[in-house]
Amino acid sequence: MSDYLLQLEDVHTYIGLAHILRGLSLALRPGEAVALLGRNGEGKTPTIKTIMSLLPPRQGRVRFRGEDITGAPTHQVAGMGICVVPKGRHIFPALTVMEHLRVPVVKKPHRREDLLKQAFAIFPELAERKNQPARSLSGGQQQMLVIARALMTKPRLLLLDEPMEGLAPVAVKRVIESMKAVKDEGITVFFASASCERALAVAGRVYIIEKGRIVYQGSSAELMAAPEVQQRHLGVRE
């Protein structure tokens, strides 16, 4: 059993003919909260999708808890303990809050009733709106819903793709709180973010991706102390 929870080894991913990830490597230890930073279009979402096997790599390996999961069907990856909060939330527009929480497959020995109770405890605003259609919720509430939805699979690794994007500051605070709560539960958190400042509020460690490759890694403290790195890789392009 390896030291790492998740490893991406020299991953090359293509979308059609476009070479999106070009030799991407990263590793996560259990219990960490790690951010993937980068400008839009540099490969953050494809990285998340590759881990989730929604975009299987053409080359390279994905290892979870030491096991090679490259190319495994997505629902199996979810069964092994990885779940995702997709970019743009991706609610099921026609389903109610409660129905959303019934979709995820609950692994034994957990019981759905217990997990529901936990979810409603962390997100009381969802408990109040159990039978409301998801599309009538506010942006922030929808974000809570999709986080709660992902947590129903009791993952070891929670992936979030730009969870704070497009939300009012109050909602962003809520998201940060819930991400910290998830981390405190012992769940490893890996999230993509275009905003450095917000990410550093949660993450202990960061990777920066540029043109499909990791160009920087370090602790949050190190990055905060290196504004020239931030400017070079995350600043507005000339």
Partner 1 sequence: MTSLIITQILNGVTIGLIFALVAIGLTIVMGLMEVVNFAHGSFYMFGGYITFFVFSAVGSFWLGLVVAPVVCAVLGLGLYYAIIRPLRKRHPLEPLVALVGVAMICRQLIRNIWGADPKLLPIPFGRVQFSVAGVELTYPIYFFVVMGVAVAALLGLYILFRKSDVGIRCLAAIQDRDTAMSMGVNVDRIGSLMLVIVMGVAGLAGGLVGPIFSVYPTMGLELIGLLFVIAIVGGLGSIGGAVIAGVTIAMTKSISSIFVSGNVSDILAYCVLLVILLIRPRGIMGLATVME
CA 200 to CA 60: how far, in whole Å? 29
**Residue 51 vs 171, nearer CB to partner 1:** 51
Q: Is the CB of 98 or the CB of 201 nearer to partner 1?
A: 98
- Any alpha helices (H) in the chain, and if so which ranges? 44-51, 74-80, 97-102, 112-122, 124-127, 139-151, 169-184, 196-200, 220-224, 227-234
Q: Which residue, 134 or 229, has its beta carbon nearer to partner 1?
A: 134
Residues making up the chain, counted from first to last? 238
Q: Residue 147 Cβ, how far from partner 1 at the closest point, in Å?
A: 12
Smallest distance from the beta carbon of 76 to partner 1, in angstroms? 8
**Encoded amino acid at 230, one letter:** Q
CB of 99 to partner 1, least distance (A): 5
Chain residues binding partner 1 by CB under 8 A are: 52, 54, 73-75, 78-79, 83-84, 86, 90, 92-95, 99-100, 102-105, 107, 135, 149-150, 152-153
Residue closer to partner 1, measured from CB, 5 or 148? 148
Give the span between the Cα atoms of 221 and 205, in whole angstroms.
Answer: 8
Distance separating alpha carbons of residues 177 and 113, to the nearest angstrom: 24
The CA-atom distances, in angstroms, between 87 and each of 114, 127, 159, 163, 229 are 27, 24, 10, 7, 25
Residue 180 Cβ vs partner 1, minimum distance, rounded to whole Å: 23
Residue with smaller CB distance to partner 1, 23 or 79: 79
Nearer residue to partner 1 within complex by CB, 8 or 152 = 152
Minimum CB separation of residue 109 from partner 1 in Å reads 15
Residue 107: CB minimum distance to partner 1, A: 8
Distance in Å, CB of 137 to partner 1, minimum: 14
DSSP secondary structure, 20-39, as one string: EEEEEEEEE-TT-EEEEE--
Taking alpha carbons only, the member of 166, 152, 150 closest to residue 88 is 166
- 68-77 CB contacts, 8 Å cutoff, 24+ apart: 75/105, 77/51, 77/52, 77/53
Q: Which is nearer to partner 1, 148 or 175 (CB)?
A: 148
Cα–Cα distance for residue pair 233/138, rounded to 1 Å? 33
